[in-house]
């Protein structure tokens, strides 16, 4: 299953980029995230608690961000599993400057599911994904209001 | 004299319905033994993956949890499920009770928790941590047959469990001489029986007597006790298997499942009763699926519409394991059996493949293998009729086995003992008012309404005994036994091996007993489904109970009746030949007054030696078996549908069935069986579909996405009977019930194609979902526009 979207931000590209790489910000903004820890291998250990229809449950998994072109392009790989089954996500994020302190993020996600999430959640999955994406970007904007830009070193 | 009683053929109300309608049925879930523990299973979310690690510590630490067992923990406590038909070339499928090393389909058990309550067991299942390493998945039978495919079962050299080619007659010349050759590939959809009662069992081991009792929602308690003993390596005479009231089976409960064996293993180990009741989510993935087949059929016709030859290639997508004991061969091999259907075709060729994939195992469901073959053959019959300018009823009449051809041996070795093939089609034509329909159809088309009519004549190999099983390629024996006994009060108990899942045996078998003993219905009790009764039988499947048990009851009743008459003759000092039994009493033939009641005779047999001949064995009991020769029932179905060409929605408005199952025991029950099967056929043709993605994930795993017909989708069903008693069976009875599933899908398919004939529509797969129908209509419109340009 594939999803995509475009988000506009009234912040500099660098600002948004670094927020999206900040574990503290991500922990607060990823919907249902109860814990997010950066491991030594640069992978995040993630715990989620989701409460929507057939995908309700606790999920544990890992996430990894691979920067392809700082601060323009990164890919996020995440996979998790819980009682309702498993989810594997690949997200491709491209940032473009569209004005002074204005940038745009285009994202494309492919999702693979298994178990009950596939068997019973299929019909609600695209709705749920849209809902979660909206929740995430709303939370990110809120964080950006108080976010102090960290200089990008990568 | 008083009127001779006649229950066979009468519309007797079902004796069992009182309890069911009052909610007093007693199913496995209703059986409560103090101290019972409850099992819940963790099931794989992967279609194919290595099991790297399982951590059960957290689950075990939950208060109330008695234990957690993985595949590794259980594999040495019992054999796996290994079963094959005695066919040399068939490869050996091995199904572990719980997966170890790797999982092979979504829903396969990975661990089992036993706890003091089901709630606790379910909570504990959630705390089991499993690390999987996903493996490449094969979810398509054709891909699975390729040499480069991943292997589903590692111990096998490939995924083809059995392939065979059978040929009879002159194929080459038949196709060469044909005026019309048609070829069609058709995918019959995977769907499943959805019994109201899901699977379930309760195993209880009695340590003091070293005795195991298992109550199970099964269709074959005696046979499965044998299989269970063999798998568990537990002595068979120390096992009692009971099928209590069972809420629907349809073939789904004709498998000895891992859960049944596991419950026994755990009850023996824990020395406490262990119960497992399947929930609907489990039923969707862990109970057997059915029907999926990919058939390519070629048919050769002469210019008059006579079929010269048939050639078929069947690929059965059978899932990850072969079910015990019917195996994955049943689906494809039964397609071979009915390759020519009701038609007189002696030039046939069939090549079949039974193939493993990473999907739920496929096993029996009403009309096994027949549905898929009828779908393709009967839709091709209508295409041929159109191309040759012959009426669809006429082309069938022309090709059918004619009245003077019986007994007829089909090219696939089925002996058609008797039947009303042509007559049933003629009767159907009258019933549907065919000529009027065609007029109405053309008038409605002018108004933009598309109605259509479809036909499908069928025959149903039924009451399969050893003779038919062997002649059609299944080297097994099938027979059953009954015990008819009369107690000192003159009442009758009939013990039978077959349990009922809703077929009405309590009524029909009592009707047969009543007439053949001469006792009233209310004096008869049918005791079924409990191996403690000692009436070994194969079980309830393949439209066999009425034929086989009917025959055995008639044999046993005759012995018991002779004994009763011998005693009565001694007591009355009247020649036995001058006496008869009717309505529970002894009469002198032709006289009105009863001379003795059965109670008096029975009491004498048990307690008054002076009242019977000195050397007589006075046990009022007889055990008889019956293994019938071939008998084949027949009939013809028609459906009228309306198709909305804007939405693609199909509405079945009227359904007609002519049924000839020989001597009818109870017309109401025949009609009930048939109606149920027709509705299941409607489900399979229009709605029900187990959809898998390429990763072997089942996408329709709840009733939200797996659509079943409800009361509003059930059309007006009109059933009429013809009666051609079987000359081969003891009773004249032929089997009944599966024809709805043989014929309904192709009947509806043909009706939809007929409704959409202006668009020249020909379907290649079922179900006829609005999407499938709309795509075909649009393609037809485009084609027409292209032709105009």
Provide the 3-class DSSP secondary structure of residue B734. coil
| DSSP classification of residue A115 | T
Name which of B226, B506, B188 is nearest B365 in CA terms: B188
| Beta carbons of A113 and B700 less than 8 Å apart | no
Distance from the Cα of B46 to chain A's closest Cα (Å) equals 6
Q: How far apart are CA B453 and CA B432, in angstroms?
A: 9
- At B581-627, the pLDDT tens digits run 999 999 999 999 999 999 999 999 999 999 999 999 989 999 999 99
pLDDT bucket at B2, cuts 50 / 70 / 90: low
Q: What is the pLDDT of residue B479?
A: 87
pLDDT bucket at B702, cuts 50 / 70 / 90: very high
Q: How far apart are CA B725 and CA B463, in angstroms?
A: 14
**Among A52-56, B312-316, B503-507, B711-715, where is mean pLDDT lowest?**
A52-56
Q: Which tokens in the block code for residue B596? A: 């003795």
Name which of B523, B545, B697, B647 is nearest B597 in CA terms: B523
Give mean pLDDT, residues B480-507: 96
Q: Enumerate the residues of chain B whose CB falls inside 8 A of the CB of residue A112.
A: 695
Whose tokens are 């396969």? That residue is B108
Give the residue on A whose Cα is nearest the Cα of B696.
A114
Q: Enumerate the residues of chain B whose CB falls inside 8 A of the CB of residue A80.
A: none
Task: Tell me the backbone φ, ψ of residue B186, rounded to 5 degrees.
Answer: -135, 130
Q: Enumerate the residues of chain B whose CB falls inside 8 A of the CB of residue A117.
A: 45
- At B305-350, the pLDDT tens digits run 999 999 999 999 999 999 999 988 999 999 999 999 999 999 999 9
- At B250-259, the pLDDT tens digits run 999 999 999 9
Q: Enumerate the residues of chain A whose CB falls inside 8 A of the CB of residue B700.
A: 119
pLDDT bucket at A154, cuts 50 / 70 / 90: very low
Provide the 3-class DSSP secondary structure of residue B239. strand
Q: What is the pLDDT of residue A150?
A: 61
Residue B705 touches chain A, beta carbons under 8 Å? yes
Task: Give the DSSP letter string of B99-126.
Answer: --SEE-STT-EEEEEEESSHHHHHHHHH
Q: How far apart are CA B628 and CA B490, in angstroms?
A: 30
Q: How far apart are CA A87 and CA B45, in angstroms?
A: 10
- At B752-785, the pLDDT tens digits run 999 999 999 999 999 999 999 999 999 988 887 8
**Is residue B651 within a helix (H) or strand (E), and if so which, with residue range?**
strand B650-660
Q: Under a CB-based contact definition with an 8 Å cutoff, are residues B27 and B217 in contact?
A: yes
Q: Which of B701, B704, B706 to mutate to test the interface with A (most CBs of A within 10 A)?
A: B701
Q: Under a CB-based contact definition with an 8 Å cutoff, are residues B641 and B683 in contact?
A: no
- Distances B398 to A30, A67, B196, B387, B753 between C-alpha atoms, Å: 70, 73, 42, 16, 22
Q: What is the ipTM metric for this complex?
A: 0.86
In angstroms, how far is the first alpha carbon of chain B from the final one? 83
Name which of B189, B179, B182, B257 is nearest B217 in CA terms: B257
Q: What is the pLDDT of residue A128?
A: 86
Report the DSSP pairing between strands B180-188 and B239-242. unpaired
**CB-side exposure of B216: number of CA atoms within 13 Å?**
30
Give mean pLDDT, residues B204-211: 98
| Beta carbons of A114 and B700 less than 8 Å apart | no
Q: Which of A116, A126, A127 to mutate to test the interface with B (most CBs of B within 10 A)?
A: A116
Q: Which tokens in the block code for residue A11? A: 């912040």
Q: Enumerate the residues of chain B whose CB falls inside 8 A of the CB of residue A118.
A: 45, 106, 693, 697-699, 701
Q: Which tokens in the block code for residue B276? A: 């497992």
Is the pLDDT reported for residue B576 higher than 80?
A: yes
Give the residue on A whose Cα is nearest the Cα of B41.
A83
Is the pLDDT reported for residue B401 higher than 70?
A: yes
| Beta carbons of A112 and B695 less than 8 Å apart | yes
Q: What is the pLDDT of residue B781?
A: 86
- CB count, 10 Å around CB of B386? 17
User: Which of A57, A83, A120 is facing B701, going by the closest CB pair?
Assistant: A120
Q: Enumerate the residues of chain B whose CB falls inside 8 A of the CB of residue A81.
A: 45
Q: Is A102 exposed, middle or buried (0-12, 13-18, 19+ CB in 10 A)?
A: middle
Q: What is the pLDDT of residue A122?
A: 77
Provide the 3-class DSSP secondary structure of residue B660. strand
Taken in order B378, B382, B387, B388, is the CA torsion positive or negative?
positive
Q: Which tokens in the block code for residue A58? A: 């606790």
Q: Enumerate the residues of chain A whose CB falls inside 8 A of the CB of residue B126.
A: 57, 83
Q: In residues, how long is chain B?
A: 789
Q: How far apart are CA B529 and CA B731, in angstroms?
A: 23
Distance from the Cα of A45 to chain B's closest Cα (Å) equals 15
Q: Which of A80, A119, A126 to mutate to test the interface with B (most CBs of B within 10 A)?
A: A119
- CB count, 10 Å around CB of B378? 26
Is the pLDDT reported for residue B789 higher than 90?
A: no
**CB-side exposure of B338: number of CA atoms within 13 Å?**
31
pLDDT bucket at B85, cuts 50 / 70 / 90: confident
Whose tokens are 């409704």? That residue is B755
| Beta carbons of A123 and B705 less than 8 Å apart | yes
Q: How far apart are CA A35 and CA A20, in angstroms?
A: 16
Give the residue on A whose Cα is nearest the Cα of B693.
A118
Name which of B437, B461, B341, B419 is nearest B659 in CA terms: B419
Residue B106 touches chain A, beta carbons under 8 Å? yes
Q: How far apart are CA B497 and CA B499, in angstroms?
A: 7
- Percent of chain B beyond pLDDT 70? 100
Distance from the Cα of B369 to chain A's closest Cα (Å) equals 26
**Among A11-25, B175-189, B638-652, where is mean pLDDT lowest?**
A11-25
**Among A124-133, B38-47, B489-498, B680-689, where is mean pLDDT lowest?**
A124-133
Q: What is the pLDDT of residue A56?
A: 82
| Beta carbons of B697 and A113 less than 8 Å apart | yes
Provide the 3-class DSSP secondary structure of residue B744. helix
Q: Under a CB-based contact definition with an 8 Å cutoff, are residues B328 and B363 in contact?
A: yes
In angstroms, how far is the first alpha carbon of chain A from the final one? 32
Distance from the Cα of B698 to chain A's closest Cα (Å) equals 5
- At B374-390, the pLDDT tens digits run 999 999 999 999 999 99
**Is residue B37 within a helix (H) or strand (E), and if so which, with residue range?**
strand B37-43
**CB-side exposure of B250: number of CA atoms within 13 Å?**
30
User: Which of A57, A83, A115 is facing B106, going by the closest CB pair?
Assistant: A115
Name which of B288, B281, B264 is nearest B215 in CA terms: B264
User: Which of B44, B125, B697 is facing A118, going by the closest CB pair?
Assistant: B697
- Distances B100 to A32, B109, B503 between C-alpha atoms, Å: 33, 9, 39
- Distances B119 to A74, B40, B115 between C-alpha atoms, Å: 44, 9, 8
| Beta carbons of A114 and B285 less than 8 Å apart | no
Task: Tell me the backbone φ, ψ of residue A82, rounded to 5 degrees.
Answer: -155, -170
Task: Give the DSSP letter string of B543-600.
Answer: T-HHHHHHHHHHHHHHHHHHHHHHHHHHHHTS-GGGEEEETTEEEETT-SS-SEEHHH
Q: Under a CB-based contact definition with an 8 Å cutoff, are residues B174 and B300 in contact?
A: yes
Q: What is the pLDDT of residue A153?
A: 53
Answer with the residue of higher pLDDT: B473 or A93: A93
Region for B341 from its dihedrals, namely left if φ exceeds 0, alpha if ψ lies in -120 to 50, beta otherwise: left
Name which of A68, A70, A110 is nearest A91 in CA terms: A110
Name which of A32, A95, A36 is nearest A64 in CA terms: A36
- At B536-569, the pLDDT tens digits run 999 999 999 999 999 999 999 999 999 999 999 9
Taken in order B236, B116, B52, B151, is the CA torsion positive or negative?
positive
Region for B502 from its dihedrals, namely left if φ exceeds 0, alpha if ψ lies in -120 to 50, beta otherwise: left
State the alpha helices, DSSP H only, in B447-504.
Answer: 466-471
Q: What is the pLDDT of residue A109?
A: 92
Distance from the Cα of A8 to chain B's closest Cα (Å) equals 35
Q: Under a CB-based contact definition with an 8 Å cutoff, are residues B182 and B383 in contact?
A: yes
Q: What is the pLDDT of residue B598?
A: 97
Name which of B93, B153, B86 is nearest B322 in CA terms: B93
Distance from the Cα of A136 to chain B's closest Cα (Å) equals 27
Task: Give the DSSP letter string of B695-755.
Answer: TS-BS--STTTS----GGG--EEEEEE-----SSSSSSB---S-HHHHHHHHHHHHHHHHH
- CB count, 10 Å around CB of B771? 10
- Global pTM reads 0.94
């Amino acid at each position: 299953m594939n999803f995509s979207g475009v988000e506009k931000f009234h912040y500099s590209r660098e600002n948004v980029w670094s927020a999206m790489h900040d574990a503290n910000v991500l922990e607060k903004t990823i919907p249902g995230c109860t814990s997010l820890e950066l491991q030594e291998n640069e992978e995040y250990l993630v715990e989620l608690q989701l409460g929507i229809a057939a995908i309700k449950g606790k999920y544990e998994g890992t996430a990894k961000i691979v920067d392809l072109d700082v601060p323009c392009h990164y890919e996020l790989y995440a996979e998790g599993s819980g009682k309702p089954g498993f989810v594997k996500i690949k997200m491709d994020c491209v940032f473009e400057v569209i004005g002074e302190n204005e940038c745009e993020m285009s994202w494309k996600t492919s999702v693979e599911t298994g178990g009950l999430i596939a068997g019973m959640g299929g019909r609600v999955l695209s709705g749920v994904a849209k809902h979660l994406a909206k929740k995430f970007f709303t939370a990110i904007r809120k964080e950006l209001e108080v976010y102090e830009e960290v200089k990008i070193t990568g | 004299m008083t009127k001779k009683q006649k229950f066979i053929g009468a519309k007797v109300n079902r004796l069992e319905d009182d309890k069911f309608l009052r909610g007093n049925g007693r199913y496995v879930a209703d059986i409560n033994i103090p101290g019972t523990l409850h099992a819940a299973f963790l099931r794989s979310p992967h279609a194919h993956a290595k099991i790297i690690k399982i951590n059960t510590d957290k689950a075990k630490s939950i208060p109330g949890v008695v234990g957690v067992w993985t595949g590794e923990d259980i594999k040495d406590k019992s054999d796996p499920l290994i079963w094959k038909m005695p066919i040399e070339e068939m490869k050996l499928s091995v199904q572990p009770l719980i997966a170890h090393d790797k999982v092979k389909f979504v829903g396969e058990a990975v661990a089992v928790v036993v706890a003091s309550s089901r709630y606790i067991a379910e909570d504990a299942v959630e705390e089991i941590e499993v690390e999987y390493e996903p493996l490449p998945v094969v979810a398509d039978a054709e891909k699975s047959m390729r040499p480069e495919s991943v292997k589903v079962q590692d111990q096998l050299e490939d995924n083809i469990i059995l392939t065979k080619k059978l040929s009879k007659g002159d194929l080459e010349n038949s196709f060469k001489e044909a005026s019309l050759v048609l070829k069609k590939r058709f995918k019959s959809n995977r769907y499943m029986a959805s019994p109201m009662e899901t699977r379930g069992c309760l195993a209880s081991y009695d340590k003091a007597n070293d005795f195991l009792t298992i109550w199970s929602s099964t269709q074959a308690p005696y046979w499965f006790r044998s299989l269970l003993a063999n798998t568990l390596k537990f002595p068979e005479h120390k096992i009692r298997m009971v099928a209590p009231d069972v809420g629907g089976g349809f073939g789904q409960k004709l498998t000895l499942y891992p859960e049944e064996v596991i419950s026994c293993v755990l009850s023996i180990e824990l020395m406490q009763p262990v119960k497992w009741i399947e929930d609907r989510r489990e039923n969707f993935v862990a109970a057997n699926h059915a029907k999926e087949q990919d058939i390519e059929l070629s048919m050769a016709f002469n210019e008059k519409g006579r079929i010269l030859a048939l050639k078929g290639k069947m690929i059965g997508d059978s899932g990850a394991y072969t079910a015990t004991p019917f195996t994955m061969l049943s689906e494809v091999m039964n397609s071979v059996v009915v390759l020519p259907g009701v038609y007189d075709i002696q030039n046939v060729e069939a090549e079949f493949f039974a193939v493993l994939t990473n999907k739920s195992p496929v096993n029996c469901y009403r009309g096994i293998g027949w549905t898929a073959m009828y779908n393709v053959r009967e839709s091709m019959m209508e295409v041929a009729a159109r191309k040759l300018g012959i009426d669809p009823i006429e082309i069938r009449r022309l090709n059918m086995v004619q009245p003077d051809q019986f007994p007829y041996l089909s090219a696939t070795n089925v002996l058609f003992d008797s039947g009303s093939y042509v007559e049933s089609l003629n009767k159907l034509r009258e019933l549907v008012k065919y000529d009027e329909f065609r007029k109405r159809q053309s008038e409605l088309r002018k108004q933009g309404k598309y109605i259509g009519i479809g036909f499908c004549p069928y025959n149903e190999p039924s009451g399969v005994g050893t003779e038919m099983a062997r002649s059609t390629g299944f080297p097994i024996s099938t027979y059953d036994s009954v015990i008819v006994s009369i107690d000192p009060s003159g009442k009758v108990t009939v013990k039978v091996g077959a349990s009922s899942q809703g077929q009405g045996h309590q009524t029909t078998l009592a009707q047969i007993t009543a007439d053949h003993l001469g006792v009233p219905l209310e004096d008869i009790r049918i005791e079924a489904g409990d191996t403690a009764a000692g009436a070994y039988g194969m079980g309830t499947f393949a439209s066999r109970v009425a034929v086989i048990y009917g025959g055995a009851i008639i044999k046993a009743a005759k012995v018991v009746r002779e004994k009763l008459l011998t005693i009565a003759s001694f007591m009355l000092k009247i020649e036995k030949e001058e006496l008869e039994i009717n309505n529970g009493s002894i009469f002198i033939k032709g006289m009105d007054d009863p001379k003795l009641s059965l109670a008096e005779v029975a009491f004498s047999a048990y307690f008054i030696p002076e009242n019977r001949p000195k050397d007589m064995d006075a046990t009022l009991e007889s055990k008889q078996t019956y293994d019938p020769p071939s008998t084949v029932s027949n009939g013809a179905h028609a459906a009228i549908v309306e198709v909305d060409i804007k939405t693609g929605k199909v509405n079945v408005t009227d359904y007609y069935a002519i049924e000839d199952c020989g001597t009818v025991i109870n017309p109401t029950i025949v009609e009930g069986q048939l109606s149920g099967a027709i509705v299941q056929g409607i489900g399979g043709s229009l709605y029900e579909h187990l959809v898998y993605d390429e990763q072997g994930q089942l996408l329709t795993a709840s009733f939200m996405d797996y659509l079943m017909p409800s009361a509003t989708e059930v059309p007006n069903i009109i059933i009429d009977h013809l009666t051609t008693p079987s000359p081969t069976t003891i009773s004249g009875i032929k089997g009944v019930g599966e024809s709805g599933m043989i014929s309904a899908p192709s009947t509806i398919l043909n009706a939809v194609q007929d409704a959409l004939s202006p668009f020249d529509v020909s379907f290649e797969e079922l179900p006829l979902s609005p999407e499938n129908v709309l795509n075909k209509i649009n393609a037809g419109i485009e084609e027409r526009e292209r032709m105009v340009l």
